[in-house]
């Protein structure tokens, strides 16, 4: 225990807690919009659902269904997406209709090995709760447009582990005693903002607290950081047993490490996870699939679908900490990873060295800047297989164009958590007839197989792996 904690009373006792406290937690910055709100009410057996039920219906709308029924709902959803893709391809003059109106065969949804508490990352907001408490730590119900956003504690959420809920509860306890206000609207002042909690199967826990500095000077900021450290190391928050405690000053909605560095207040700079027999280092803002057990199943399938040989080169686009490339490195001659988050690339390089993998190289930068340059000078005669795992925003057009125009790439796996969104645009760009005006001169791809993986039980989402060949 720190000497300071033994010599003087902790400062968090200087201010009494608020009169009303619920229980906290949050994971996804999810709001209930139009249809979602209607579905939330329809899915509830009570005429006037509680706030907890509203939140569950908004974030995890399938939580009431038996798991096998959840999988069937998701299968039907993916089937409609493939039907839409087939119709869109038909509009482009491509005969893509297969049995059932699909663009390619659709396999059953692969279930998650873990159904409850599977998330390894949760993001909690700070805002007014149902009781009016402006320092409620939880998830959103409502919309900004309707001006009816309410922050509801997430203790009851099925997809979130108890560790995340405990850290959120402690964070609320801390800010409830702080003389500084929560930051709900930037221009209205306030300081305390969101909390991100990351955990691993090795028992590691990382907490990242975002703080709006407003007009505070360096001395005042140092005081707040010291109070946070004290609370989570030798105060009530010590029960969380944090491996890492980070603090980020941010005047923007989203801020990268390069824009505003993550400041380590306590513990280790990284947490570690094991996946498919490999050890992975994770930084505060590095991408890692939120369902570790489900990711293992996904990556094993990806390895088989790639149909690599000993001389294959694997192109891992949007590689994060290198999980896909490193897990497949043993079955290819070389792995080339590209990722925009610089810290994630540092993790990927460390992961390769630590695991004794020497046939990988990782490039930091935007894929639309790195990939065209990389492939334009590609003269390697070895087979080249590409795996892309972009965010919901999909791939930049220049990335798709570089893939299309690289004749060596004959096989492409597209992994998407929202195939009905921007990914659909990418699918059409990959498969459309050559168009010199758009500089799409390469031979088009064709979808040949789709496999959904349920990495998000209780929600309507899943990861769709779509295999393209040419």
Question: Rounded to whole angstroms, how far apart are CA atoms 465 and 294?
Answer: 13
Residue written as tokens 């005006």? 437
Closest listed residue to residue 34, CA positions, set 130, 138, 145: 145
Distance (Å, whole) CA 346 – CA 357: 15
Rounded Cα distance, 53 and 68, in Å: 22
The verdict on whether residue 389 carries a ligand-binding annotation is yes
Tokens of 94: 């491509």
Tell me whether residue 252 is exposed, middle or buried, using C-beta atoms within 10 angstroms of its C-beta: 0 to 12, 13 to 18, 19 or more: exposed
Q: Specify the residue for token string 């309410």.
A: 150
The answer to the question of whether 443 is labelled as a binding residue is no
What are the angstrom distances between the C-alpha of 19 and each of 130, 138, 143, 176? Answer: 14, 18, 27, 10
Distances, alpha carbon 286 to alpha carbons 124, 322, 338, in Å: 18, 10, 13
H or E element that contains 338 = strand 334-339
For residue 313, with 0-12 CB atoms within 10 Å meaning exposed, 13-18 middle and 19 or more buried, which class applies? Answer: buried
* Largest Cα span, the chain: 78
- Spatial distance between the Cα atoms of 275 and 280, rounded to a whole number of angstroms: 7
Say how far apart CA 64 and CA 61 lie, in whole Å. Answer: 8
CB atoms within 10 A of CB 308: 18
Handedness of CA 313, 470, 453, 155 (dihedral sign): positive
* 417 flagged as catalytic: yes
- The sign one gets for the Cα dihedral 133, 134, 139, 144 is positive
Considering the candidates 417, 431, 432, 462, report the single residue annotated as catalytic: 417
Among 177, 179, 127, which residue's Cα sits nearest to residue 150?
127
How many residues are recorded in the chain? 470
Distance CA 429, CA 440 (A): 8
Is 339 marked within a binding site?
A: yes
**Residues noted as catalytic:** 417
Tell me the binding residues for S-adenosyl-L-methionine.
Answer: 289, 339, 389
Q: Which residues does the annotation place in the binding site?
A: 289, 339, 389
């Amino acid at each position: 225990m720190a000497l300071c904690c033994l010599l003087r009373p902790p400062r968090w006792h200087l201010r009494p807690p608020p009169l009303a406290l619920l229980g906290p937690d949050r994971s996804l910055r999810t709001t209930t919009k139009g249809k979602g709100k209607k579905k939330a009410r329809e899915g509830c057996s009570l005429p006037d659902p509680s706030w907890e039920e509203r939140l569950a219906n908004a974030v995890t709308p399938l939580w009431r269904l038996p798991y096998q029924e959840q999988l069937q709902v998701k299968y039907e959803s993916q089937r409609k997406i493939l039907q839409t893709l087939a119709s869109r391809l038909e509009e482009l003059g491509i005969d893509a209709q297969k049995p059932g109106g699909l663009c390619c065969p659709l396999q059953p949804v692969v279930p998650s090995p873990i159904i409850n508490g599977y998330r390894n990352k949760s993001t909690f907001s700070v805002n007014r709760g149902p009781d009016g408490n402006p320092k409620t730590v939880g998830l959103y119900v409502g919309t900004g447009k309707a001006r009816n956003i309410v922050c509801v504690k997430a203790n009851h959420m099925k997809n979130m582990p108890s560790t995340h809920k405990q850290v959120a509860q402690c964070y609320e306890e801390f800010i409830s005693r702080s003389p500084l206000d929560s930051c709900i609207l930037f221009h209205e002042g306030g300081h305390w903002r969101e909390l991100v909690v990351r955990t691993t199967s090795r028992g590691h826990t990382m907490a990242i607290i975002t703080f709006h500095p407003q007009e505070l000077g360096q001395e005042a900021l140092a005081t707040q950081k010291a109070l946070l450290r004290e609370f989570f190391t030798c105060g009530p928050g010590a029960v969380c047993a944090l491996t890492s405690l980070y603090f980020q000053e941010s005047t923007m909605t989203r801020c990268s490490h390069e824009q505003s560095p993550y400041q380590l207040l306590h513990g280790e700079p990284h947490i570690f996870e094991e996946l498919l027999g490999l050890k992975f280092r994770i930084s505060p803002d590095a991408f890692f699939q939120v369902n570790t057990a489900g990711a293992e199943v996904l990556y094993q399938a990806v390895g088989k679908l790639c149909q690599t040989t000993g001389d294959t080169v694997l192109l891992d686009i949007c590689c994060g900490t290198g999980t896909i490339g490193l897990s497949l490195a043993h079955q290819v001659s070389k792995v080339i990873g590209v990722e925009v988050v610089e810290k994630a690339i540092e993790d990927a390089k460390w992961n390769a060295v630590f695991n004794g993998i020497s046939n990988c190289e990782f490039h930091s930068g935007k894929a639309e800047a790195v990939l065209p340059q990389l492939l334009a000078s590609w003269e390697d005669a070895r087979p080249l297989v590409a795996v892309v795992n972009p965010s919901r925003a999909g791939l930049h057009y220049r990335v798709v164009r570089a893939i299309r125009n690289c004749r060596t790439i004959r096989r492409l796996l597209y992994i998407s958590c929202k195939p009905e969104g921007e990914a659909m645009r990418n699918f059409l760009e990959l498969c459309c007839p050559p168009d010199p005006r758009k500089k799409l001169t390469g031979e088009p791809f064709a979808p040949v197989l789709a496999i959904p993986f349920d990495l998000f039980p209780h929600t309507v989402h899943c990861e769709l792996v779509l295999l393209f060949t040419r």
